[in-house]
């Protein structure tokens, strides 16, 4: 069976969605370990409760990004994963790390990329009065939140015809809705990869041997 390693930094609600898909038998692989750079991450508890190896590698014990990423890469290699899932992993990865696992690294980012790479995506979408907001799954490259897009889910941000106090969503509500979309989207995309339907080539993403011209809307 295919092997997954999941990297987290926090709550791990996306990790939980992967665990549930695995338990349903529709993931197409086995989560062999969960690694967190934050020893306090609640996702580590979720992993342990599901009987999955939970590893904490505190980045604060490293003097440089390079040395942390080296240890992280060594830890991941032990598990010989077919796929590495970044699920709320809030660390910028070095080019060396990305090259080591090229084509096997997926990330989810809470915006309709290429809009809003980086932090505070929900706030930015609200401040800009965007009609749509969403979340994106992409292959990881050296460029932060810039790797080739695979699939996106979206929601309407402007609820009524005009915004007023009552129909305006706040940042917290938007985050919750986006995470609900993520929990459907991300394990599904991973299952495509694990079933050999998805690859990253030099010229982009291939799905069922056809080059994707635009991200799949899921
Ligand atoms: C998710 O919403 C994910 O999109 C976001 O962090 C959250 C993690 O939640 N990722 C990023 O912002 C990456 N830059 P979780 O720990 O409950 O899965």
ipTM, 2 decimals? Answer: 0.99
pLDDT tens digits, 86-108: 999 999 999 999 999 999 999 99
Which ligand 1 atom is the nearest neighbour of the CA of 89? 13
Interval 174-198: pLDDT, tens: 999 999 999 999 999 999 999 999 9
Q: Which atom of ligand 1 is nearest to the CA of 8?
A: 16
Q: Residue 93 annotated as binding?
A: yes
Determine if residue 90 is labeled as part of a ligand binding site: yes
Give a three-class secondary structure readout of the chain: CEEEEEEECCCCHHHHHHHHHHHHCCCCEEEEEEEECCCCCHHHHHHHHCCCEEEECCHHHCCCHHHHHHHHHHHHHHCCCCEEEECCCCCCCCHHHHHHCCCCEEEEECCCCCCCCCCCHHHHHHHCCCCEEEEEEEECCCCCCCCCEEEEEEEECCCCCCCCCCCCCCHHHHHHHHHHHHHHHHHHHHHHHHCCCEEEECCEEEECCEECCCCEEC
Average pLDDT value over all residues in the chain = 96
Confidence at residue 191, expressed as pLDDT on a 0 to 100 scale = 98
Average pLDDT for 141-145: 96
């Amino acid at each position: 069976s295919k092997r997954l390693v999941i990297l987290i930094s926090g709550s791990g609600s996306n990790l939980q969605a992967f665990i549930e898909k695995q338990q349903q038998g529709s993931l197409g692989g086995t989560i062999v370990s969960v690694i967190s750079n934050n020893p306090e991450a609640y996702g580590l508890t979720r992993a342990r409760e599901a009987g999955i190896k939970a590893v904490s590698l505190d980045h604060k014990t490293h003097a440089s990004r390079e040395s942390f990423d080296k240890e992280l890469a060594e830890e991941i290699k032990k598990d010989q994963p077919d796929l590495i899932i970044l699920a709320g992993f809030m660390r910028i990865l070095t080019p060396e790390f990305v090259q080591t696992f090229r084509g096997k690294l997926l990330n989810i980012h809470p915006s309709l990329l290429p809009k809003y790479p980086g932090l505070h995506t929900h706030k930015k979408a609200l401040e800009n009065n965007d009609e749509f907001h969403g979340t994106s799954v992409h292959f990881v490259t050296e460029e932060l939140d810039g790797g080739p897009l695979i699939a996106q889910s979206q929601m309407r941000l402007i609820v009524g015809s005009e915004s007023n106090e009552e129909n305006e969503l706040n940042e917290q509500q938007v985050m919750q809705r986006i995470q609900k979309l993520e929990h459907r989207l991300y394990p599904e995309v991973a299952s495509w990869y694990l079933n050999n339907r998805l690859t990253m080539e030099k010229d982009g993403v291939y799905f069922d041997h056809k080059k994707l011209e635009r991200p799949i809307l899921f």
